[in-house]
Amino acid sequence: MKNLVLVVMDGVGKSKTGLGDAVKKANTPTLDMLLRDCPHTYIKAHGTAVGLPSDEDMGNSEVGHNALGCGQVYSQGAKLVEEAIESGAIFSSAAWQELKDNCVAHSSAMHFIGLLSDGNVHSNIAHLLSLVRQAKADGIRKVRVHILLDGRDVPATSALTYVATLEEALSQLSDASFDGRIASGGGRMKITMDRYFANWDMVKEGFYTHVYGRGRQFASAKEAIGTYRQELPGVIDQDLPAFVVAEDGKPVGCMHDGDSVILFNFRGDRAIEISMAFDDPDFNRFERGNMPDVKYAGMLQYDGDLHLPRRFLVEPPKIRYTLSEQLVKQGVKSYAVSETQKYGHVTYFWNGNRSEKFDDELEVWEEVPSDKVSFDQRPWMKAAEVTDKVIEAIESEKYGFIRCNYPNGDMVGHTGNFDATVIGVEAVDLGLARLLPVVKKHDCILIVTADHGNADEMLEKNKKGEITVRTAHSLNAVPFIVYNADCEIADGEFGLANVAAAVTKLMGLKADPHWEPSIVK
């Protein structure tokens, strides 16, 4: 058996247009050498290749690592929800029935919290509108929507478009029997949507904004967004402060005993903490105040091992036959490392949405704490420390399979700061430069790939033909490179799900029969 190291350069794809290509702009002698001298190809990392509804849907780190780690294509996120809405299963689910009955019995409000966009990464406004329409059809008389502004998976300052769509739909539904309103909101990187327990203050501020209506008051979401843009020149949607919609000085959408609450995001990483705040009876991360007695559900169950939340509208994909399972069956010890921002991706998502290991002895996970600053301020992030850990793991000769994630291309790319993203990509290249001689010395095989694009396309043309900042993931293919192995790339078109079989083939192990074919022959 050959030992193998797999590196995920998060958010590093191959640009089709050259527009805002921080990867090309960066000084990357190591990556350039690998692409020049080693067997390689480019593989699909978005759309149907990772289980999303169409090839217009950008990939993301969660579905990307699912595909990398399980070797198969599962219906994911938006596609799962769309299928449940089309079949009606979402509205016959136990969770919807319980929350609906709760509102009807108490003549109480149903609250929806989530990311207001059609990015199809965390949510889709179309799903929200379906839920709101069904709420009215089921006899719920009052709906309040707490909107999180995107500007990350969609154009950076597009929030008013989505607000207008939602307000028009609520207006058309509202009559003597139904009252629908936007109640509160704020930018996704300011409130509510923290992940990996990095910043509980974000979650607390969102919780108090949505639950108690505490915060700066405006007559409408449109007024709030317009005012903040005037006061904070250059601010993009994801960074807009919290706001509360009020009439006569009173919030229109505070939560009360007997209300129901649904988080309509389908992606798990940024849904877990706010779900804990609502749904964990032993919650102690911050003081929740005199919290009202509400029934809470998620669009999906965001963590199956933690059973969080307890109620959810759509069953998650049943991911089986993962690479980790196969390696455990064959007695191979593995090691996974990244910094906090992507630690869950090389562990939880890689292992098929499992918080627990398949084998505590054969799987070792290590987290490098991320800096709690905007990533364009320190674009090198923890690339050096992650590299240190990988080198230690290789030199220990304990592990047959080692995987790591460098988050720089994605996390710095999301800030929209092109110059900082160039530095972030260069930091990853420095990490690769340090790894290569160690891989060679210990006669390992190295695979370098990515989970989706981002840093490769940081500008875009808007509908007017103007060049604007792009903070969303790209639809570009990502590299798949093999170093220090005598192999050839197989014929055909491949995606992230083909990587697992390539790993076992290069290691000299059996692939699971359920997997997609290997990229190498």
Asked whether residue 26 carries a pLDDT value surpassing 60, the answer given is: yes
Per-residue confidence at 77, pLDDT binned at 50, 70, 90?
confident
Average pLDDT (445-459) is 97
Last residue of some domain: 314, 342, 359? 314
Q: How many Cα atoms sit within 13 Å of 241 on the Cβ side?
A: 16
Tens of pLDDT, residue by residue over 367-407, are: 999 998 999 999 999 999 999 999 999 999 999 999 999 99
Residue 78 has pLDDT above 90, yes or no: no
pLDDT band at residue 249 using 50, 70 and 90 as cut-offs: very high
Indicate if the pLDDT at residue 269 is higher than 90: no
Q: Are residues 275 and 348 both part of a single domain?
A: no
**Three-point CA angle 149, 277, 318, nearest 5°:** 80
Tell me whether residue 37 is in a domain: yes
Q: Is 359 left (phi over 0), alpha (psi -120 to 50) or beta?
A: beta
Instruction: Give yes or no: 61 in active site.
Output: yes
Do 291 and 440 sit in the same domain of this protein? no
Residues 104-126 have a mean pLDDT of: 96
Tokens of 344: 């869950």
What SS3 class is residue 417? Answer: coil
Looking at residue 196, what is its pLDDT? 74
pLDDT value, residue 462: 73
The average pLDDT across 352-356 equals 89
Give the pLDDT score at 303. 74
Q: State if pTM tops 0.85.
A: no
Annotate 222-265 with three-state secondary structure: HHHHHHHHHHCCCCCHHHCCCEEEEECCEECCCCCCCCEEEECC
267 domain residue, yes or no: yes
**Domain end marker among 266, 297, 314:** 314
How many domains in the chain? 2
Of 15, 61, 130, 370, which is the active-site residue? Answer: 61
Whether residue 437 has pLDDT greater than 80: yes
Is the predicted pLDDT of residue 463 greater than 70, yes or no?
A: no
3-state secondary structure of 298: strand
User: Comparing 307 with 61, which gets the higher pLDDT?
Assistant: 61
> What's the CATH number where 87 sits?
3.40.1450.10
519 assigned to some structural domain: no
Counting residues of the chain whose pLDDT is more than 70, the rounded percentage is 99
Residue type, 6: L
Residue numbers of the domain that contains 208 = 78-314
Least confident of 28-37, 316-325, 332-341, 435-444: 316-325
CA distance 142 to 435: 58
CA distances from 433 to 31, 132, 448 (A): 8, 52, 12
Shared-domain flag, residues 254 and 400: no
Residue range 165-213, pLDDT digits in tens: 999 999 999 999 999 999 999 999 999 999 878 899 999 999 999 999 9
Please check whether residue 225 lies inside any domain of the structure.
yes
Residue 512 lies in a domain: no
Confidence of residue 54 (pLDDT cuts 50, 70, 90): confident
Residue 305: per-residue pLDDT: 55
Residues 355, 488, single domain; the answer is yes
Asked if residues 70 and 352 have their Cβ atoms less than 8 Å apart, the reply is yes
Position 301 scores a pLDDT of 87
